[in-house]
Structure 1
Amino acid sequence: MESFYKFFRLFQKTLQDLYPEPKEVENLFFLLTTHIFRCDKTTILLRLSRKEKINFFIYDKLIKKLWELKKNRPIQYVIGQTYFFGLKFIVNEKVFIPRPETEELVSWILQDQDHHDNPVQVFDIGTGSGCISITLKKKKPEIIQHICAIDSDQEALDIACKNAKLHNVKISLKNVDILKNVIYKPQKMNKNTIYIIVSNPPYIRLSEKELLHPNIVQYEPYQALFVPDEDPLIFYKKISFWIKKRLTGIVYVYFEINQFIYLDIIDFMKKIGFLNIEIKRDFQGYFRMVRGVYYSN
């Protein structure tokens, strides 16, 4: 039998060319081993220091996972899960892996809701794993009365459904391609109901593809990432025109955006009538999210 220490050394050697930063390789190692052994990082560190043995069955499983990582497969897909806002979410190649930037977008929404007590209906457009909808419902169940999570891919919605069941929250899941169809609209439950539209749509231009890490391009769903260079605002336009046409009352809109074209997005939102537009930087300092308000009769 091989030891934890020997596997750790093999892990480092195998991935050092893909991930030159040793800390990143360490993080991957602990994500994999804590998942496989169903324990915390401290337990793995103790087993490493003691050079404990790994039985053949588990070692074979670890090696197979290591070769997946060697092929650039993201660790989240390798172990089939990730964490968002401290909550565990099931993921696979059918859904985009939730990012810290999207956590910041959700945090912004939650902070804003601290100042409101009216009932809220949420549309999460391009829901993917359902991480945005489920987190909002878990964190603000007393305010957010109804959430409609929309995606064009039924397999992505199947993952979102599993995650909703995992967290015991009720959200409405709708299979709709927003570029082709009218988005489902529930009836208002209350005359004071406020709408929140949140979306992390595809926003990476095809010309920016080479800037991405290979594991993103090779494994994450293409349709969740890229937009044509000639119309990079296509999803923002479709969502915004739908808001103008279909919703009445106060509508708060939160978008995750491409930092390279944030001025174009702001300009578009102003032109079609959004007010109180505010833009925020993410933890890396990039302009990554925007909020606007639309008042409709």
Structure 2
Amino acid sequence: MRSFDKFYHLFQKTLQDLYTEPKEVENIFFLLMTHIFRCDKTTILLQLSRKEKINFLIYEKLIEKLWELKKNRPIQYVIGKAYFFGMEFIVNEKVFIPRPETEELVYWILQDNKNKNTSKVQIFDIGTGSGCISIALKKKKPEMEHVYAIDSYQETLDIARKNAELHNVEISFKKVDILKDSIFIPKMNKNSVSIIVSNPPYVRLSEKKLLHPNIIQYEPFQALFVPDEDPLIFYKKISFWIQKKLTGVVYVYFEINQFIYLDIIDFLKKIGFLNIEIRRDFQGFFRMIRAVYYAYKKN
């Protein structure tokens, strides 16, 4: 039998070279332990302080998980879940792990629509991944009737659907390769209001070296990277689709690459988007942008 405190020291020693911040290793430890023991952090802290013993079979499972972490596998994939906006989401290597920066993007949308009637607003979550954006919006504003979550891959959408079921929300999922196919458009009128939100791939291949190895090794390549010669490829495709297919007022919220934010602003201005605002994330990087497009004419 092994004790909680001995496993804690082994955990730190095993991962200290992979994660330079001791606090990060500590956070990973508590995520794993609360998952395995199905309890809260306070319970684990008590067991640590009391140097309580760990059942042999459970200890073997912990060692197995620690070995996965040693191989750079993200903790979210190890335990099969991630937290976003205070909610639990099923994740695996088919979906990008939800990030705190994206929570800020969702919060921005919610703040902008805090006192508005959004029952008739159409929401398009393009590149939905785990479904975290559309599910969080629907959960926080259940009166939103028309929420569409779009992704290119069926396996990804299957996970997003499971997450929608987990949180008991109604969302329309659509399989569309946004670089090749036209996104489904429900019937609209000239006074329609739409919100487009997207956290598309935006890391240039030349920036790959800046990422933590666990991101490169395990998270889906197609959800991360864009070619250096056309890093705005997804923003362009979405924006041109808005111009061509939507009517009424369209509010756009993008998560962006902080290194090319000026290029994104210039592009949106050039094609007629107005009221462009950019915001920093909690780390101080320019990470999100909002703009408005008045699409009163149908092409």
Deviations 1:153-212 (A, max 9, x none): 111100000000000001011111000000111123x76431000000000000000000
Match of 1:120 in 2: 121
- In the TM superposition, what is the alpha-carbon distance from 1:20 to its structure 2 partner? 2.7
SS at match of 2:254: strand
SS at match of 2:149: strand
Kindly indicate whether residue 243 of structure 2 is the aligned counterpart of residue 250 of structure 1. Answer: no
1:194-213 alignment runs, 5 A limit: 194-213=193-212
Q: State how far apart, in whole Å, the 1-side matches of 2:106 and 2:12 are.
A: 35
Q: State how far apart, in whole Å, the 1-side matches of 2:72 and 2:280 are.
A: 29
Report % sequence identity.
80
Runs of 5+ consecutive residues of structure 2 not aligned to the other structure: none
Q: What is the TM-score with the length of structure 1 in the denominator?
A: 0.97
Q: Which amino acid aligns with 1:167?
A: H
- In the TM superposition, what is the alpha-carbon distance from 1:77 to its structure 2 partner? 0.4
Q: What is the TM-score with the length of structure 2 in the denominator?
A: 0.97
- In the TM superposition, what is the alpha-carbon distance from 1:116 to its structure 2 partner? 2.4
Q: Which amino acid aligns with 2:159?
A: I
Kindly indicate whether residue 229 of structure 2 is the aligned counterpart of residue 259 of structure 1. Answer: no
CA contact (8 A) 2:258 2:287 kept: yes
1:115-264 alignment runs, 5 A limit: 115-118=115-118, 119-142=120-143, 144-188=144-188, 192-264=191-263
Q: State how far apart, in whole Å, the 1-side matches of 2:275 and 2:258 are.
A: 20
1:34-53 alignment runs, 5 A limit: 34-53=34-53
Match of 1:67 in 2: 67
**Aligned pair count?**
295
- In the TM superposition, what is the alpha-carbon distance from 1:24 to its structure 2 partner? 1.4
- Which consecutive aligned stretches of 4+ in structure 1 deviate over 3 angstroms post-superposition? 190-193
1:94-109 alignment runs, 5 A limit: 94-109=94-109
Kindly indicate whether residue 289 of structure 2 is the aligned counterpart of residue 295 of structure 1. Answer: no
Runs of 5+ consecutive residues of structure 1 not aligned to the other structure: none
Q: State how far apart, in whole Å, the 1-side matches of 2:142 and 2:250 are.
A: 19
Q: State how far apart, in whole Å, the 1-side matches of 2:101 and 2:21 are.
A: 22
